[in-house]
Amino acid sequence: MSQTLYIRLVRAACYVPPIGRGLHALIVWLMVHLPGIDTLTRWRIIGRSTWKAELTRRQRLREGSVPTETGASRIVVETSALAAIVRALRPGGTFDALESKGGIFIAGAVKSGNTPSVTVHIDDIPVCKRNLPGRQTKFDALLGHELVRSFPTECGLSIVDDTGARLSHGGADAIRVRIPNASGELAGLAAKGNLLTKKGELAQANPNAVAKRQQEYLDAYVDIAARFEAATGKPLFVSYGTLLGCIREGGVIENDDDFDVSYLSDLETPEEVRKEALEFAKRLEAWPLVTQVRRDLSVHRQGEDVIISLGVPLWFHGDDLIMYTGKKVRCTRDDILPARQVMMAGVPVLVPNNAERILEGYYGKTWRTPDPGYISDMRTRDRASNQLWRRTLFTPKDVRRMGLEIGLEEGADSR
């Protein structure tokens, strides 16, 4: 099911709030207890945050108050007969967009698998680029609340491919977006070099703000890594985008909004890896930290909003290292451990023993060149390895059982 269709169905179910709440409670029960459903699908369908946002939105509309999340953005399609005829004769692709709990969610597809990337424009300002590797045709993007509030009060949302051709929405080249309380600061922010994070929000372009956030991440990592190794006997090393920034740039990537760390499991089946990770999660509850378990694990120190994402552990399936969304990297255990210490913005952190090989295997041979359109997309993974990764994810039943045992915070990871 496409994300836009799912959001529309949730919106329809929440038209009468009591019915929406009852239906969601039933869906949660079914997703926890019904057998034979993929774990990632369970979390996406539960989507507690999506349902809560739609119920709140419906309640405010009934009361006549303005939803504050996006300044009551209203998406209105601007169509013309001529545009419809032109797009029918020369269709390059299509897209859809709608208001969601995270901001404005966009999903689309290009006609040709030879299109390297697409770019989302607000009027003539490019705000978001999405790469389409490996003949991929489908894409999605989220424009977060902070970004949406910077739009003009009325603007056009369009998507352009690398040839300059615009994708179509219902025969139109653009969607008209109206945001009554918008600030109109987008052009100025773009001129100052503000970057978009992978979650669709504006990243800080101010060097002092970037340095402050980087120091907060590193301080939290030093504390959490020491506690983790004491509790589990396993070193916690930086990974993914954080490792990329550490090795390539010596610090956190400017538009990155989280801090990724991993550990290597010695186990060899996804079920054993998941069971071990659940046991580690229970041990972490003894820390003076806030532990958040959804489909995977994140922690942060009490009173702070700096999230350290442990995600799903790394593990070997035969000769391949299984990484996020099932990406396989051909390497050996000696490429991971012993982890070595490097300096990151003046702070010692642990990295895999052969970090460069891991980065090349995950990001490709061009990993040393910054790519603003990069996003980790599970649609580019082969089905078998993606299924292996999904089997390591915590199920809703795992999280519920853990909550009953130790009062753990429970949540659903879904737009």
Whether 160 and 299 map to the same domain: the answer is no
Pick the last residue of a domain from 63, 86, 104: 63
pLDDT, average across residues 192-198: 59
Whether 166 and 239 map to the same domain: the answer is no
376 CB-near residues (< 8 Å, 6+ apart): 240, 324, 325, 327
* C-beta of residue 29 within 8 angstroms of C-beta of residue 130: no
The count of other CB atoms within 10 Å of the CB of residue 298 is 18
pLDDT tens per residue across span 164-192: 888 888 777 888 888 878 888 888 877 76
89 in any annotated domain: yes
71 CB-near residues (< 8 Å, 6+ apart): 148, 149, 179, 180, 181, 182
pLDDT tens per residue across span 356-409: 999 999 999 999 988 766 766 655 567 888 888 889 988 888 887 876 666 544
Confidence grade of residue 410 (pLDDT, cut at 50, 70, 90): very low
Q: What is the C-alpha to C-alpha distance for residues 208 and 194, in angstroms, rounded to an integer?
A: 14
Q: What is the C-alpha to C-alpha distance for residues 225 and 219, in angstroms, rounded to an integer?
A: 10
Pick the last residue of a domain from 158, 191, 224: 191
Domain CATH code at residue 351: 3.30.460
Pick the last residue of a domain from 141, 161, 191: 191
Whether 320 and 298 map to the same domain: the answer is yes
Whether 334 and 211 map to the same domain: the answer is yes
197 in any annotated domain: no
201 in any annotated domain: no
Of residues 312, 356, 310, 354, the one with CA closest to residue 332 = 354
Whether 28 and 125 map to the same domain: the answer is no
pLDDT, average across residues 14-19: 79
Does 338 sit behind a cis peptide bond, omega within 30 degrees of 0 on the bond before it?
Answer: yes
Whether 222 and 168 map to the same domain: the answer is no
Domain CATH code at residue 141: 2.60.40
Chain-centroid distance of CA 35 in Å reads 27
What pLDDT does residue 35 have? 86
199 in any annotated domain: no
415 in any annotated domain: no
Q: Which range of residues forms the domain containing residue 164? A: 74-191
What pLDDT does residue 68 have? 40
Q: What is the C-alpha to C-alpha distance for residues 238 and 67, in angstroms, rounded to an integer?
A: 39
Whether 149 and 254 map to the same domain: the answer is no
pLDDT tens per residue across span 202-229: 665 556 766 777 888 888 899 889 988 9
130 CB-near residues (< 8 Å, 6+ apart): 117, 118, 119, 120, 139, 140, 141, 373, 375
69 in any annotated domain: no
User: Does residue 339 surpass a pLDDT of 90?
Assistant: yes
171 in any annotated domain: yes
> Per-residue DSSP letters for 204-243?
P--HHHHHHHHHHHHHHHHHHHHHHHHHHS---EE-HHHH
Number of domains comprising the chain: 3
Whether 240 and 312 map to the same domain: the answer is yes
Whether 299 and 383 map to the same domain: the answer is yes
First to last CA, the chain: 13
* C-beta of residue 388 within 8 angstroms of C-beta of residue 326: yes
200 in any annotated domain: no
User: Does residue 47 surpass a pLDDT of 90?
Assistant: no
Average model confidence (pLDDT) across the chain: 78
Whether 392 and 308 map to the same domain: the answer is yes
Whether 45 and 125 map to the same domain: the answer is no
User: Does residue 87 surpass a pLDDT of 60?
Assistant: no
Whether 329 and 235 map to the same domain: the answer is yes
